[in-house]
Amino acid sequence: MMFRVRTISSPGIRISSGHDLGLMYVLHGLAGVGLIALVMMHIYFGLRPEKQPITKSMIFGWMDRDFYLEEHDPDRWAVETSSISQPSRVDDRGLHDAG
């Protein structure tokens, strides 16, 4: 933060006063604390016991059929199929099986 930075967008900004340098350090520290807090909250909300099946489905790409049927109403999400395409079936792990 104390060196002159030359980029395409800025010809080079030099902090000359101690007040500006102190403000830069404070803002940098607050941004670091905010980033750590957001990461901690993200991990906490991802690992809550009642949401573990959703977190597991994001990692592995599928969810148990029982959990899916418990959380989602299949009648609301019915897929309309035409006579040309074959409807896909979902097995116990939530994977689609064409045919």
| pLDDT one-digit tens code per residue, 40-84 | 999 888 888 888 888 888 889 988 888 888 888 878 877 776 655
Q: What is the pLDDT of residue 72?
A: 82
- The tokens for 58 are 């994001």
Higher pLDDT among residues 97 and 57, named by residue: 57
| pLDDT one-digit tens code per residue, 7-42 | 666 665 666 677 877 888 899 999 999 999 999 999
What value does the mean pLDDT of the chain take? 77
Compute the average pLDDT of residues 89-98: 57
DSSP notation for 36-92: HHHHHHHHHHHS-GGGHHHHHHHHHS---HHHHHHHS-TTTTPPP--SSSPPEEE-T
Compute the average pLDDT of residues 86-90: 57
Q: What pTM was computed for the model?
A: 0.49
Q: How far apart, in whole angstroms, are the C-alpha atoms of residue 52 and residue 73? A: 20
